Structure formats: C-alpha cells, structure tokens
C-alpha cells in the first residue's frame, strides 16, 4: 500500500542580508513537535526529529534527504535541504553556521523575517518539499508581492541515482575544495577550477543550460536547467561557493528557474 503524508510548518525566521551574506537575528526556539514516522513501500520513509525531517528512500536506503525547517539557533544548521549519499552529507560550514547544498533564497526575506517550510510530503515514489520566503519585492522593488518559492521533488531513477527537480529561486552551495565546474551557456562552454582560492571571483553566466560539478567533498553532480542569469560567486574566506539564481529575477525578470539535479 502507498501512503502520502503531508507535514505543514509555519515557522518564523529572522535575518538581515548584507552583500548577500546573511546576518542572523536570534529568535526563540519553536515548540518541540511530536516525532512521527511514515513507512512506504516505495518512495521515501520520513522521520521527524523536532523541526528536522529525514527522508530515506525505501528502495535504496543509503540515499537520504534531510530537510531543516528551523533556524540556526536551535541546531546550528540553516534551513534548507541536505542530500545524504551513502553516508556522505552534502552540507557544511558557511557564514558562521552550517548549510545544506540547496537553500531557499534568503535575500527574499525582509527584516521582519518570514521563512516558511510549508510541505514535507511523500506521494507515490516522490518526496515533495516546499519552502516560501519573503516577497519578490525584496529582490526587485517593482516585483509582485508574493512569496519566493523553492519547490523540490526527489526520487531515485532507473540507474539508482538520486534526482532533485527544483523550481523557484534558490541557491546551490558546493565547496571550493578541489572542485571543477563545467558551464554550458549561450552555446558556449567554460571550465572553472577551484582549490582553496586566495582571491574572490564573481562571474555572471547568461542562458545557462547545464552545469557539471566535480566536488572532492560532495562528489559528482549535474544540473540541467534554464537559468537566464547565473551568478557564480567565490569568496576566498568561505569554504563554499554560490550558484546564485536570484539575479535571473533581479536583472532579467525570470520568476521561476527549473532545474534537474542528478547525483552520481
């Protein structure tokens, strides 16, 4: 029998953002919520621990997805999504806290703070996750006054690869530790190699269709996408770099970016 389970959270989160680096304001920890466990014959088994959810593939239990639905002051981990592949967690230190590989767009939050982790749900063979942050008007003053989404669907393909289908505006945060990135954009290609960089780097790539990432810590993954403008940002003081998608909206008006991430 297949089961569908939906978890709805409306959790407050406060932060300020300057120069695209979040400065976090402590808030009271949310009330503890009852533990839950959902078992499915296919898809994902979801286990809750407070405001963190771990979804394990029923058919490939070494493939997991962790969803953090609260702020850093409860567990020193920022809200977002951490794939876990054969025990290897795709997360780590950044900006004085810890971040998963995929995060909603924190620039969209205002100073009152409003991040919502609205859905963690297993439907058939897919794990569905929804975040909403602030407003498009916080990214562009003449934008619509509606939340900026991150919608994610995870599943395991026929080759036993974990797949993430993403839509909305979001960040992807690999590491700078011996990482090679192949960019395909506007009919051209370019390769960037990072190894503990000693200087900052900021490049905008337009009309990006494919990213091929070889990360010594996070492994190999690809991104098939339709990004009108991708901001590639490296700071020498940070162990992670940014695939920042919100400039696709800020600069060119693209409200939703669709991506398919394949983990090898």
What tens digit of pLDDT does each residue of 152-169 get?
Answer: 999 999 999 999 999 999
**pLDDT confidence bin for 13, thresholds 50/70/90:** very low
**Residue 141 CB coordination number (10 Å):** 7
Q: Domain range spanning residue 65?
A: 5-263
Number of independent structural domains in the chain: 1
Nearest-10 Cα torsion for 222, 88, 47, 102: -40
Q: For the domain that residue 220 is a member of, what is the CATH number?
A: 2.70.98
**Residue 252 CB coordination number (10 Å):** 12
Q: Can you give the pLDDT at residue 24?
A: 34
- Flag whether pLDDT at 8 surpasses 50: no
Rounded to whole angstroms, the Cα distance separating 131 from 214 reads 27
Sign of CA dihedral 74, 261, 162, 38: positive
- Flag whether pLDDT at 89 surpasses 80: yes
> Highest mean pLDDT range out of 48-52, 72-76, 152-156?
152-156
What burial letters (b/e) apply to 172-211, b meaning 16+ CB within 10 Å? Answer: bbbbbeebebebbbeeeeeeeebeebeeeeeeebeebeeb
| Angstrom distances, CA of residue 169 to CA of 132, 139, 238 | 10, 11, 22
DSSP 248: H
- Flag whether pLDDT at 260 surpasses 80: yes
Q: Where is average pLDDT lowest: 31-45, 148-162, 184-198?
A: 31-45
**pLDDT confidence bin for 10, thresholds 50/70/90:** very low
């Amino acid at each position: 029998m297949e089961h569908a389970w939906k978890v709805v959270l409306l959790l407050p989160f406060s932060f300020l953002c300057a120069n695209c680096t979040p400065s976090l304001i402590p808030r009271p920890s949310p009330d503890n919520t009852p533990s839950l466990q959902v078992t499915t014959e296919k898809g994902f088994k979801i286990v809750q621990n407070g405001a963190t959810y771990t979804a394990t593939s029923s058919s490939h239990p070494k493939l997991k997805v962790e969803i953090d639905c609260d702020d850093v002051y409860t567990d020193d981990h920022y809200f977002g999504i951490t794939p876990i592949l054969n025990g290897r967690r795709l997360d780590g230190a950044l900006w004085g806290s810890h971040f998963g590989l995929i995060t909603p767009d924190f620039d969209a939050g205002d100073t009152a703070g409003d991040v919502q982790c609205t859905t963690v749900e297993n439907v058939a063979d897919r794990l569905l996750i929804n975040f909403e942050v602030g407003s498009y008007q916080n990214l562009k003053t003449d934008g619509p006054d509606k939340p900026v989404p991150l919608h994610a669907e995870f599943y395991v393909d026929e080759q036993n690869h974990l797949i993430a289908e993403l839509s909305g505006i979001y960040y992807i945060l690999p590491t700078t530790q011996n990482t090679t990135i192949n960019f395909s954009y506007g009919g051209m290609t370019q390769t960037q190699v990072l190894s503990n960089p000693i200087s900052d780097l900021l490049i905008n790539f337009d009309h990006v269709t494919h990213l091929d990432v070889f990360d010594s810590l996070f492994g190999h993954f690809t991104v098939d996408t339709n990004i009108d403008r991708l901001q590639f940002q490296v700071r020498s003081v940070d162990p992670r770099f940014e695939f920042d998608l919100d400039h696709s909206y800020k600069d060119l008006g693209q409200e939703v970016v669709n991506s398919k991430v394949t983990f090898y």
